A and B are shown apart, each in its own frame.
Chain A
Amino acid sequence: MEYNILSFIYLLASVTFIIGLKMLSHPTTARKGNAVAAAGMTLAIFGTIFLYNEEGASLGNYGWIFAGLAIGAVVGTLAARRVKMTAMPEMVSLFNGMGGACAALISIVEFDHLMHLPGLSGLLLVLMSASALQGLLLIILLGLIIGSVSFAGSMVAWGKLNGSLRDFSFRGQQAFNIALLLLILGLATYLIVAMPANALPLFYVIFALSLLYGLFFVFPIGGADMPVVISLLNSFTGVAAACGGFLYDNKVMLTGGILVGAAGTLLTILMCKAMNRSLTNVLIGAFGGNTATAAAGQSQGSYKEISLSDAAVVMSYANKVMIVPGYGLAVAQAQHACHELEKLLTAKGVEVGYAIHPVAGRMPGHMNVLLAEADVSYEKLLEMEQANEEFPTTDVVLILGANDVVNPAAKTDPGSPIYGMPILDVELAKHVIVNKRSMKPGYAGIENDLFFRPKTSMLFGDAKKVLQDLITEVKNS
């Protein structure tokens, strides 16, 4: 009876996951959708604790289970509540890694459990047919490999996003990675097919190699592409969770895991599409931080600089100013200063708006979240199509650390890697002021012709510092 109730709870939870995910993909229902999925998850967790039983025996070790739940819940809530809005993606990456590690640990314990039964060969005689055992091994190994790769990869992604790790690659890394992956798959196949008497050391070797592969998988990918990688690893962890579902014949783990695996993969592809790149391109990093391409376009004529006070004057006396935020703004944490400047200009009678490119900051929705944190009113954020209609009547466009999303090469140069990506037509405005830290090209590693156009003037420096100085200048002018 109790166990039947649990089946019903699992069914309910699976449905909440689907509905939750569906609601999460619409702006008006998103928050509720998250709550629905969370409620289903809570139900499934407590249902498992109290109602689960296997061959008549219910679960024990309640003290341990509740202690673990309590620690995880407290630490998780605190970490998630305290983290700054700008650090959101790295937090997601960290939590994703935890899930991957959890899946890997389950595999380790279950494998160890198998080994402590009369050994693989003994088990074979007593319990099950060879193919059933092999199926079990396959699932355990899959959970281990995918979980470990997801864990190690997420940790690297986390490190890269918070700046403690740099991009790292060496000659022939792609070949090395493929060889490593083949080695892992080879060893796993050997373990499953040959079922050696003492498989434990081999199992740990596979574990170690999987961790290593996770590291080297993410190391060479440019820091700016991390959101795509996190999304991909996210779907990996989903599949790892689904392996657990296979292992325990647990439908809710299976549904949840596969659902995330499929949705995560599609989401990864959608993210790449929004940047007009293919997934392979992101993963192999064809032009991520490639110095050769950057140097090639360096001899592009001259640009002109504008002084802070001139920039302040131009903006104070404009009718309409559009701000184009980019990754530079996020890095400098300049969203509050940006809002400050916006308020100041509005007080002077200037109409101020923000033009948000869908992939500004190379993370979809990044700028919206960031500016929302600084209390910028939602109606001031214009999407690309709206913004492009506004530019012809705009006096000054202030570009803050955005580069590729305003690069005219996307329209004019079929040879450019970003050719075809929709951009913000800032050139339709009367003046363009570009704030950048230096003349270095953006993340796509390509020269931006915009900086050399006669309408454009450059304002070098850290976005936050420049904005603060601009605020002082505008106040005085």
Chain B
Amino acid sequence: MSTVFNWIHTHQAIIYIVVLMIFVGIEVIGSVPSVLHTPLMSGANAIHGVVIIGAIIVMGKAEADNYLALALGFLAVVLGTLNVVGGFVVTDRMLEMFSKKKKSS
């Protein structure tokens, strides 16, 4: 039991972030109209592409002779970028449809 408390103590900052972000995440999209469900899902999808930063760190730290780390790290960077760029572009295209029609009407 004491290890758990120790763990919580040493990682206080991170645990606070997690708990607060859960509430922020729920609060922030609480009143979304159903028309926007799909674009919102797509936008959130792009945001979790932030995992790319982990991929960049892996890639950047890989030693020149560690081929596994190099290959997988490279693949991770490509996939992560796909997630980020593709995610934001797709969301923008969906939303473009909405805004264009709104102005013209």
Whether the Cβ atoms of B95 and A31 lie closer than 8 Å is: yes
CA gap between A17 and B47 in the complex, in Å? 7
Judge whether A25 is part of the interface by a CB distance below 8 angstroms.
yes
Q: Which residues of B contact A69 (CB under 8 A)?
A: 77, 81
Given contacts A34-B92, A68-B77, contact A88 B38 (CB under 8 A): yes
Query: Nearest-CB distance from B86 to chain A (Å)?
Result: 4
CA gap between A22 and B28 in the complex, in Å? 5
Given contacts A99-B79, A102-B55, A256-B50, contact A131 B21 (CB under 8 A): no
- Contact pick for A257, options B35, B51, B92, B101, CB 8 Å: B51
Query: Nearest-CB distance from A380 to chain B (Å)?
Result: 9
Whether the Cβ atoms of B70 and A258 lie closer than 8 Å is: no
Main secondary structure of the interface of A (DSSP, over half): helix
Q: Which residues of A contact B88 (CB under 8 A)?
A: 34, 37-38, 41
Whether the Cβ atoms of B36 and A27 lie closer than 8 Å is: yes
Q: Which residues of A contact B40 (CB under 8 A)?
A: 21, 24-25, 30, 263, 267
Whether the Cβ atoms of B86 and A95 lie closer than 8 Å is: yes
CA gap between A241 and B45 in the complex, in Å? 11
CA gap between A261 and B51 in the complex, in Å? 13
Interface bracket on A: 35 or more
Judge whether A238 is part of the interface by a CB distance below 8 angstroms.
yes
Whether the Cβ atoms of A108 and B72 lie closer than 8 Å is: yes
CA gap between A92 and B87 in the complex, in Å? 7
Identify which of residues 74-105 in chain B touch chain A, using a CB-to-CB cut-off of 8 Å: 74-102, 104-105
- For B39, the closest partner residue in chain A by CB is A30
Judge whether A96 is part of the interface by a CB distance below 8 angstroms.
yes
Whether the Cβ atoms of B51 and A240 lie closer than 8 Å is: yes
Whether the Cβ atoms of A247 and B17 lie closer than 8 Å is: no
Given contacts A38-B46, A89-B38, contact A102 B80 (CB under 8 A): yes
Q: Which residues of B contact A237 (CB under 8 A)?
A: 45, 48, 51
Whether the Cβ atoms of B101 and A372 lie closer than 8 Å is: yes
Q: Which residues of A contact B85 (CB under 8 A)?
A: 72-73, 76-77, 80
Whether the Cβ atoms of A263 and B29 lie closer than 8 Å is: yes
CA gap between A62 and B74 in the complex, in Å? 11
Central interface residue in A52, A94, A264, A377, by most chain B CB within 10 Å? A264
Central interface residue in B14, B24, B25, B32, by most chain A CB within 10 Å? B25
- For B97, the closest partner residue in chain A by CB is A372
Q: Which of A43-51, A162-170, A464-472 lies at the binding interface?
A: A43-51
Q: Which residues of B contact A58 (CB under 8 A)?
A: 60
Judge whether A449 is part of the interface by a CB distance below 8 angstroms.
no
- For A85, the closest partner residue in chain B by CB is B97
- Contact pick for B54, options A31, A98, A250, A358, CB 8 Å: A250
Interface 0/1 of B15-29, CB less than 8 Å to A = 001100111111011
Sample of 15 more A-B contacts, CB < 8 Å, known A35-B92, A267-B29: A20-B47, A25-B30, A27-B33, A96-B45, A241-B48, A248-B53, A252-B50, A254-B21, A256-B48, A259-B28, A262-B25, A264-B25, A274-B37, A364-B37, A378-B101
